[in-house]
Amino acid sequence: MCKILTIVGARPQFIKASMVSRAIAEHNVTINDQRLAIDEVILHTGQHFDANMSDIFFNQLNIPRPDIHLDIHGGNHGAMTGYMLAEIEQALLEHKPDRVLVYGDTNSTLAGALAAAKLHIPVAHVEAGLRSFNMQMPEEINRVLTDRISDILFCPTEIAIKNLIKEGVETPKNDQQSTINTQRIFLVGDVMQDAALLFAKQACAPQEVLLPEGFVLTTLHRAENTDCPERLANIVTALNQLHHTLAPVVLPLHPRARQLIAKQGLNLQVHVINPVGYFEMLWLLDHCDLVLTDSGGVQKEAFFFGKACVTMRDQTEWVELVEAGANELVGADEAKIVDAARRHYGRRIDSSLRLYGAGEAAKLIVRKLPKYTTSD
């Protein structure tokens, strides 16, 4: 049996981990060789701590409750990552996993990978190889560093693999020529698509919220936008304009973003609601007429539901969506946001394009884990 310690801390990671944990349970039931069984320990750093950003996802998605909860949140990037690094190291020394599994590009991702690497514990990175090529973004730094210290790289797209190869991460010709310490690249598809396909039928409208028939679903949380007064002001002005002249703007707003908007004295005149659970978010994606976001994951989720997406960032790690015409980058330019929203409102996207695999990413990941982890 191999022991995997999974590290999560933020909303998208809960969703991704739910699919892999489900696949691990199915794997353990179906295998004949117990040496290939997987014992999963889940560590929650606490990066997203609000009940609407954390607990609700564990409840809705039937994720096993974390075995370890560090309750680390708030503060600057360096302080948060440093606290996580120290606490994760202690957890690894106590639980002695054969491998650490990390997801995405958050501070929890980097802290988990770095703590494991310093203890010579192999690391597997889900969503490896993604690049926005903007090193001013904390997420880009987290991605690059995590990929460099991971020995298994699970990529969602062919473009992600090409990025890794350009950076000098070579994949061995075959398994016989490789060892446990050799970096490996695998194309598995996107676990978020697994989740969207599995849970779409359980989507439900947010409770106690009266929503309009047609609306623009908006998310706003990236530090590059919320921490820059000029960008945040431009976005708020654009959202207000769209809300009054195009269609109601529905904005599930993260507590931190809400505080920064209030601190700056901005008058946000849209339909603001509290953060929602995954099933409610799926319902909003299914019923909206446009997605306007600065999130990475929501760009893909819009595509899964056939909705056009306008992304309020200067770069994106999901370049295939831009190339396919499903997504348009507009930065934080007020005029560009309004113009793109008007052009794309109500437009439907061909979501049958096989950009992110066939919805079996979690199963492919789980098949690889014991093969490259067991020490027998």
* Cα–Cα distance, 129 to 354 (Å, whole number): 18
Sequence-distant (6+) residues with CB within 8 A of 273 are 206, 209, 250, 251, 252, 253
Under a CB-based contact definition with an 8 Å cutoff, are residues 2 and 38 in contact? Answer: yes
Is residue 221 annotated as a catalytic residue, yes or no?
yes
Q: Residues 18-28, buried b or exposed e (16+ Cβ, 10 A)?
A: bbbbbbbeebb
d(CA 347, CA 275): 26
Task: Give the residue among 11, 8, 7 at the shortest CA–CA distance from 219.
Answer: 11
Q: How far apart are CA 235 and CA 292, in angstroms?
A: 11
Q: In angstroms, rounded to a whole number, what is the distance separating the alpha carbons of residues 212 and 206? A: 12
Q: Tell me the C-alpha distance between 184 and 172, whole Å.
A: 7
What single letter denotes the amino acid at residue 374? T
Only one residue has tokens 């020490």, namely 375
Task: Determine the distance from the C-alpha atom of residue 352 to the mean position of all C-alpha atoms in its chain, rounded to a whole number.
Answer: 21
Given 48, 73, 125, 221, the catalytic residue: 221
**H helix or E strand, kind and range, residue 152:** strand 152-155
Residue where the block lists tokens 């919320």: 226
Task: For residue 368, give the amino acid letter.
Answer: K
Instruction: Report whether 19 contacts 40 (CB < 8 A).
Output: no
Active site residues: 221
